[in-house]
Structure 1
Amino acid sequence: MPDMLVRLYALPERRASRLGPGVSIRRAMAAERRIVIAWIEERFGAGWVGEAEAAFSSTPARIHVAVHENRIVGFACHDVTALGFFGPTGVDEAMRGQGIGEALLIESLMAMRAAGYGYAVIGGVGPVDFYARAVGAVEIPDSTPGIYAGMLFPDEDPSGT
């Protein structure tokens, strides 16, 4: 999966929200750490938990959450695997297709722009077309496996078989 590059100075303007009623995007707060981490681990596994925990290590936190009816339904991190990197991000399966992922992406990238970055890297991208359409991201040549080369995964067979 390739990395992609986003020009933060050329982000699309905030569009009229496609978010359903009662859905909001905001930075997570330190007091919510355990709730958010448990939610991520249950839905996305231990690998993403490490990155999400790192996102809570700064103030303000480098993690945004999508909330619907006072429950978390999505998250997005930045500056956790490496400075200038966006991700990981995920949306509850039942809430996908409602613009939540795109709203989390744009809010996180705007936070990176506000912090002084001109560019962001989206690491190990799965949905290349989504990122290209949403924020004009372009693939970085020869970026697979990139920064993730040799990373340990809890469910991976160490023998490589």
Structure 2
Amino acid sequence: MPDMLVRLYALPESRAGRLGPDISIRRAMAPERRTVVCWVGEHFGAGWAGEAEAAFSSTPTRIHIALHQGALVGFACHDVTALGFFGPTGVDGTMRGRGIGEALLIESLIAMRAAGYAYAIIGGAGPTEFYTRTVGAVEIPDSTPGIYADLLRPDNGAEPEPRE
């Protein structure tokens, strides 16, 4: 999967307010670390849980979460695998199609812009059409396998989890 480049100075406006009264997007807080990391691991695997954990190593945290009636239903990280990188991100399968992933993406990218970045890289972008449509991301030529090429694999020889 290719890496993609996003112009942060040309982002659409936030979508978080359009999700309805029962869904909210916000940065996770340090006391939520165990809850969030366990949820990410349960829903998306150990690799992404590791990246989510790394997102709690700074203040403010580098992870946004989506809540549906107070329950965790999605997350998006930035600046965890490498500075300037967005991801990983994921939404609970039962909540997809409601705009939550789009809102998480845009909120994370807005946070990166506020931190001083002009561009962001989406590493190993899975749904490239989604990123192009939502934030105008473009594929970076010759970027596969990119930074994840030498990723330590589990002892069982399984491939690493796909990036979303």
Structure 1 residue 57 and structure 2 residue 52: aligned? no
Residue identity opposite 1:58 in structure 2: S
Structure 1 residue 2 and structure 2 residue 5: aligned? no
Residue identity opposite 2:118 in structure 1: G
Figure out how many residues of one structure are paired with residues of the other and give that number: 158
Residue identity opposite 1:131 in structure 2: Y
Structure 1 residue 101 and structure 2 residue 101: aligned? yes
Seen in structure 2, the aligned counterparts of structure 1 residues 123 and 22 have a Cα distance that, compared at 3 Å, is same
In structure 1, the partner of 2:161 is none
1:153 is paired with a residue whose SS is coil
Seen in structure 2, the aligned counterparts of structure 1 residues 138 and 155 have a Cα distance that, compared at 3 Å, is farther
Task: Percent identity, please.
Answer: 77
Residue identity opposite 2:32 in structure 1: E
Gaps (5+ residues) in structure 1?
A: none
Seen in structure 2, the aligned counterparts of structure 1 residues 42 and 16 have a Cα distance that, compared at 3 Å, is closer
- The Cα of 1:152 is off from its aligned counterpart by 1.3
2:133 is paired with a residue whose SS is helix
In structure 1, the partner of 2:76 is 76
In structure 2, the partner of 1:30 is 30
- The Cα of 1:14 is off from its aligned counterpart by 2.8
2:87 is paired with a residue whose SS is strand
1:126 is paired with a residue whose SS is coil
In structure 2, the partner of 1:41 is 41
Residue identity opposite 1:129 in structure 2: E
Q: TM-score, normalised by structure 1?
A: 0.94
- The Cα of 1:109 is off from its aligned counterpart by 0.1
Please list every run of at least 4 consecutive aligned residues from structure 1 whose deviation after the TM superposition is greater than 6 angstroms: none
Gaps (5+ residues) in structure 2?
A: 159-164
Measure the CA separation in 2 of the matches of 1:66 and 1:22: 10
